[in-house]
Structure 1
Amino acid sequence: MKQVELKTPEASSKMMGEQEKFTELIQNLGDINIVIDSSGFILQINKAADSSLPNLNNWANKHINNFLTIESKEKFDAQLTSLSDISRIVTRSFELNHISNETGEFPVRYKGFKLNGTDNLLLVGNDLTPVAEIQKKFVNSQLALEREYTKYRSYETKYKVLVDFTTDPIILVDGFKGLIVDANPSGHQMFCLKKGKLIGQQLEKLVYWDRTDKILEVLKADALTNSTRVLPLKVNKNSVKVRIVPAVFRAENELCLMLKLTPIKESISPTGEFSELLKKYYENTRDSIVFTDKSGIIKYINNSFLALCNSGSDQLVLGRSFSDFLGRGIVDLKVLIDTALANGTTVPFTTQFVSTYDIKINVEITATKAFNEYGTFVCFQIRYGSSSRKQDANEIVVNEQATQKIMKLVGSAPLKELVADTNDIVEKICIETALKMTKNNRVATAEMLNLSRQSLYVKLRKYSLL
């Protein structure tokens, strides 16, 4: 007969004490400890005494999915399925996001254990709220840094556009070392250098300076007293006088000196004597000389042109289109400018000059392309044309040639057909003459004859002039 062992009161008390210690141990394993059954219902829940988590007693006897976010529900179901395997008694660490009415969402990292003798599971969790707060601060710091960097890039872009858009030559100099740290395109053009080649050069090596005190200190003193200074610059072994307007300022720990350079002369002359000769020729020649931009707007004229157009002041002429003074207007101007820009110069072009009082004069015009650092110009030199007798003789020759062609047709066809053929001969002669006048420029020829380019090409094929 099997002997039944009776537990003494001392043994029962000892077992209850061990169970209380076990319960206390379980309660302090993590910030939150949950016992759930195999379907996910919460059987028991407690949190550590020093935990900052909200009150969770209302979770008991409810399914844990009621307190999880949508993405955490799928993650928890996967962990629950893995523990259903008999061979596994513990899960890997996994994170779940809980929902609380008091604090909103809060993250917890869990590890699951099977309890011996039952299908229940023990979830031991550590509160990740402090870690999440640190991560949130880090992300906010990164976003703030990105905003500051974007603002910095915006200021840098505005500075670059403002400096590059300025037509005045501007250079930025290190106030301590005297090195050029930045310059706009006009500043590089002033020294005849490509973009970027001016950066890093010493300012004192670009200026003719023979005084004992340093040029950098003198310019900083000028900036403090709002003074300007005229100095010669070294440009391709030549001396170019400029007026320097300095401004000094600090950027963080850097001392910067910004210099605005204004040329005293508009261009660099290799020799003053030759420049003076050109000036005398321009002022005293009987030929009329006009400078225009590429669109034909008059920029400079000499006194002979004023006399030719019967104008009392250059202010009445400057700024007008040169086509206003040409017999065929914009057609003549386009032929001259296009040919000059393409070939550099033109042969003498015969046309009529129309003065301010609509007086028409036969002239010969030569156009020449000219350019400097300020842009591209077209120079027109105007001379009185051939005498009317010579012109009449040319017209007689042309008329005789046309007459000879027409006379050869008499008797070869009825009069009606002869008239039609005569029109073709006249039309061909007109097209040939226009092509000669425009130096075979088809666009200008079409405009001169008031034809579309398509119609002109049709007629060129018709008369075998292509």
Structure 2
Amino acid sequence: MKAFKAPKTSLGDLDAEAAAILITAAADVAIIVDAAGAVRDVAFNSESLAEELAGQDSWLGKPWIDTVAPDSRAKVESLLADSDAVAGRQWRHVNLLSARGASVPILFSAVRIGDGSRAVAFGRDLRQLSALQQRLLEAQQSLDRDYSRLRHAETRYRMLFQLWSDPVLILDPQAQKVTETNQAADRLLGRTPRRPAGRDFLEIFDPKGREAVELLLSGVRATGRADEVRVQLEEDSKDIIVSASPFRQESTTYLLVRLGIPVADANAIVLPKAKTKLLKLVENVPDAFVVTGQDGRIMTANAAFLDMAQLANEDQALGEPLERWLGQPGVELEVLTASLRQRGPVRLFVTTMRGEYGATTEVEISAVSVMNGVGPCYGFAIRDVGPRVTAPARASTRTPRSVEQLTELIGQVPLKDLVREATDVIERLCIEAALELTGDNRASAAEMLGLSRQSLYVKLRRYGLGDLPADGSEQG
């Protein structure tokens, strides 16, 4: 500490009031302590600190050591002991106790004045600094947790990548260099320490196959997807099926390249070309098709189902229950699966599908059950039967005339057609009853039914009731 060179001359006759003003201005809080360590007076230069330490009048006459937190008592004793020193005074972090019991961090330094019977403790408010330190600590802890999660996730994915049974490579599409390979790819390509992962990708294949692979990579870069190609390896002329898909990492696009071995072993199933074409047709038909397990969870779905359910890719549907998008949850899928188990294939089951973003579509479902290993799996063909242009109903169309005839149609026509037929039957019976009650007075019948005469004549012609002129002229 460097003191004033001539304090008596420069400060002049400094009285107690002036000293109090200087002390208050020099610190956020100032405490006068007597020789016994008791608080004699307190002054604040910070309104917020004065409010935080409201009730400080009760400190007067009490030992200063009793107004601080237990962990700060030793620091107060050290401050008072060092207050006699002219140089080398220490600043101590002391936690004062507020009226509500909270700790208020203050940085204190003490100075003996006069004949040494009094000491002034100058305090600086550390609340803002403490809050900043706390936020910094929380941010650091959050970063540590995020880093730990990322590290564990990377470890898991690297383990899965290495244990994947199919040969897989990570490719830089711009330089066409291999950046990473898994163990299966190393075994297939015969990688050794002399052949690092940074080799040219096209060198893996024979000259005839390089052009096909290069076209495949160009298609993936341009559209994000491409058909697989079958080529041969350069070293042993082994047939390989090459497929690729892009992914992004740190604003850079890489390709995940899978090398499939088209050799049927004892456990493999090789589909005939006709069956393979059939699967491709199912994938691209305009009607939705989805396969679920015995528990109703989706195993695979075609593009039309993804569009109807408003999903971006198949991964969002896999493992999810079909009833999440179908009809009334917990009801209609249970009815469908129960019917499949007990009666076999289901045809034209009418319901609705709900998309992820609220779109609702009227659909008809046909379903079938097939055995798959130890249990059945279910296939659902879902057709959109929403609003469409239909031919106007003809007067000659056969309409059921009674409830008995209507019930005979159950199981033969869809539910929505049954509802329409039931409405027509009820409407026809009401018109016949009104005509009978009014003695075939059509004006009175129209009034009784709440219809205009013209509307009644239209319905009479529709249902073939009464003798109406062919030219459309009617009489009451």
TM-score normalised by structure 2 residue count: 0.48
Larger radius of gyration: 1
State TM-score, norm by structure 1: 0.49
